[in-house]
Chains A and B, each alone.
Chain A
Amino acid sequence: MTVMEQRGAYRPSPPPAWQPRTDPTPLLPDAAPYRVLGTETAGKADPELLRRLYAQLVIGRRYNAQATALTKQGRLAVYPSSTGQEACEVAAALVLEDRDWLFPSYRDTLAAVVRGVDPVEALTLLRGDWHTGYDPYAHRVAPLCTPLATQLPHAVGLAHAARLKGDDVVALAIVGDGGTSEGDFHEALNFAAVWQAPVVFLVQNNGFAISVPLAKQTAAPSLAHKAVGYGMPGRLVDGNDAAAVHEVLTDAVRHARAGGGPTLVEAVTYRLEAHTNADDDKRYRADSEVDAWRDHDPIALLERELTERGWLDEAGVRAAREDAEALAADLRARLNQDPELDPMDLFDHVYAEPTPQLREQQALLRAELAAGQEGEL
């Protein structure tokens, strides 16, 4: 018998043990980013919630502007602004219960502030007086994370531990579009899905990882599509639509709390300012692109919806702005003071008990300081 004859006789059949582990259809994200503002769904939203989102967005924008200004004045070493992305930051913080945990990246100081972290303490890392300025347990906000995507496995582990202990705690972790390329992103999603851990992954897709556009980051149809391969639902949402982000994240948190496992949410948004003050965004993007996104501003979108529906009046707008100014004034006043730092602290928290070697080094520095000399640059 020739090979061709054999081939004709061959009837393909699946190997006996094979069956799909999960039906991919319900896991697939929407074809277009989910929106609420400007659609009929908005009429069914809770006006009180939308006003709360609005007030926080206005505060958030002002916070970003003030922190950026302080960076230009040399008061912060660096500030990665979330201007334009406030809807994601605010919604991420507001959907969580007190007992839940937030795992932010370096760009997410605003989410930490909205969750209750003192605005100056949230900026300590970026000011440069210490690595983490707040007690992570006080508001259940993990330290701002600079290496990309490394906070994601932490979120999975914490959520898993909470479930093992019988607590209905959810962890929400934020990562950028660039961070989704790291191995840690993959490993975190895989663990979360296998363990059915109560985690929500929020990808803030702001178009760029420093200078690299999304098209050079991934060939996936969307970042939300990545969820399907792990066996968890992916959701695609307009990241500038605060009502939509809040709704999608609320669903995901509820799903996780009820034992349904993790969700990957991709919020499509845009970084309106440079990556940080050290970055020159003129090198990699055109003003026209930035301007197009300015027309889709999260604050303007929500303000229009609220005022058109008669849910927000001038007094409401004024009140939000006044709160924002108060926060900015407080930030200015406190960050314009030089922090009082004790170099002896350098040795205090390396171990629970300093090693004899560290004690020696501490003594050396103390003697140097007493002699009025110290290691200079």
Chain B
Amino acid sequence: MTTVAVKPATMAQALTRALRDAMAADPSVHVMGEDVGTLGGVFRITDGLAKEFGEDRCTDTPLAEAGILGAAVGMAMYGLRPVVEMQFDAFAYPSFEQLVSHVARMRNRTRGKMPLPITIRVPYGGGIGGVEHHSDSSEAYYMATPGLHVVTPATVPDAYGLLRAAIASDDPVVFLEPKRLYWSKDVWNPDEPQSVEPIGRAVVRRSGRSATLITYGPSVPVCLEAAEAARAEGWDLEVVDLRSLVPFDDETVCASVRRTGRAVVVHESGGFGGPGGEIAARVTERCFHHLEAPVLRVAGFDIPYPPPMLERHHLPGVDRILDAVARLQWEAES
């Protein structure tokens, strides 16, 4: 038996590799955005692509998000597969008109004649000490717009697999990259054939019997840590990583909640009008008779994202999750 030396890789590396493989496999894949060429993007996700595939396939655009996404619409109309990079969450907002009025509904407007296979990569979320406008969690806006897929990886292999799937999708995909996980490492061998995850499937990251933590993106590692910490108190928590917010995997989530009877939804965007409300409602509708307690939410506060020196008070951490678990009115396990 031979042991393969497996190097740890970062999520950023997996994303770069996914872009490269997609461009190599399909000449219609074009990457564009601000600083994606020579610089390789401010997070270096597009590093080397302009050199390898030329500036026509990895293009530094003028600084205009509405223009970037609007041009991507036209490119997609003509048969290309644009992958656009929005530099930061809050800087994608100028492109909302194009996203909401055109990208999301072109298939529907044209009765299926003009699908738009566009991937919109958005680094999102906090925890990196960014100043104002660099830490928004904008997933609720995207989720509320019919016609968009919304996915977000939490692990290195998923970053690769989901990005490949997003680019291959014939529908527009908002690909949310949890920026504080860019440098997180995982055992991932880039030399092995990689699997491409179909969009729309959640995964149980850790199984347990006492309650389910339903989460995604940057909050997945926090929930796993909370689950470890909970063991000391005799709680055996299951952690479900949604991976895809739209479409939503009711099956995996509800199967878990039916097993455990209790659920907490965890995310760092605001709770009011946030993703957790939708998720809690779905779970309640489908699992009411299995629930031993109301579905709780642990979310960021309902405030504009705070300055870096205060963000630790805002982001849901292990303690806040454990408090919620305690509020599920625990009964002694038999």
The chain A residues found within 8 Å of chain B, CB to CB, are 77-78, 125-131, 146-148, 178-179, 181-184, 209-212, 216-218, 278-280, 283-284, 339, 341, 343, 345-347, 350, 355, 357-358, 361, 365, 368, 373-377
- Check if B62 sits within 8 Å of A361, measured CB to CB: no
Instruction: Assess the A148–B63 pair: CB atoms within 8 A.
Output: yes
The answer on a CB contact under 8 Å between B131 and A210 is no
Nearest residue, chain A, Cβ from B93: A147
Would you give the shortest CB distance from B324 to chain A, in whole angstroms? 11
Judged by a CB distance under 8 angstroms, whether B309 is at the interface is yes
A183 partner, pick from B64, B306, B316, B318, beta carbons under 8 A: B64
Q: Is B313 in contact with A346, judged by CB distance below 8 angstroms?
A: yes
Q: How near does chain A come to B308, taking the closest CB pair, in angstroms?
A: 4
Segment of B35-43, B74-82, B188-196, B235-243 in the binding face: B35-43
- B131 & A125 in contact (Cβ 8 Å cutoff): yes
- Which residues in chain B, 6-59, are within 8 Å of chain A measured between CB atoms? 34-35, 37-40, 42
Q: A342's closest neighbor in chain B, by CB?
A: B310
Nearest 5 pairs of A and B residues by beta carbon: A211-B39, A128-B308, A375-B317, A181-B62, A376-B317
Asked whether B39 lies within 8 Å of A210 as measured between CB atoms, the reply is: yes
Q: Which of B38, B60, B301, B319 contacts A374 (CB 8 A)?
A: B319
State whether A210 and B320 are in contact (beta carbons under 8 Å apart), knowing that A184-B94, A357-B272, A377-B127 are contacts in the complex: no
Map CB proximity to A onto B265-289 as digits: 1 under 8 Å, 0 otherwise.
0000000100000000000000000
Hey, which bits of chain B sit against chain A, CB under 8 A?
A: 34-35, 37-40, 42, 60, 62-67, 90-91, 93-94, 127, 129-134, 272, 301-304, 306-310, 312-320
Interface residue from A279, A284, A361, A374 paired with B302 (Cβ < 8 Å) = A361
Query: CB within 8 A of B313: which of A181, A284, A375?
Result: A375
Interface residue SS majority, chain A: loop
Q: Give A219's nearest chain B residue, CB to CB.
A: B62
* Given A181-B62, A210-B39, A350-B303, A376-B34 contact (CB < 8 Å): no
Measured between alpha carbons, how far is A345 from B304 in the docked complex, in Å?
Answer: 12
- The complex places the Cα of A147 from the Cα of B93 at a distance, in Å, of 9
User: Which residues of the other chain, B, contact A182 by a CB distance below 8 angstroms?
Assistant: 63-65, 94
A368 to B40 CA separation, bound complex (whole angstroms): 42
**A–B Cβ pairs within 8 angstroms, 23 of them:** A77-B129, A125-B132, A125-B307, A129-B309, A146-B134, A148-B63, A181-B64, A182-B63, A183-B64, A183-B66, A211-B38, A212-B38, A212-B60, A280-B39, A283-B38, A283-B40, A346-B310, A346-B313, A350-B303, A375-B312, A375-B313, A375-B315, A377-B312
Contact across chains for A358 and B39 when beta carbons are under 8 A apart: no
Nearest CB of A to B94, in Å: 6
Expressed in whole angstroms, the Cα–Cα distance for A178 and B62 within the complex equals 7
Q: A183-B64, A343-B313, A375-B313 are in contact. Are A146 and B131 (CB under 8 A)?
A: yes
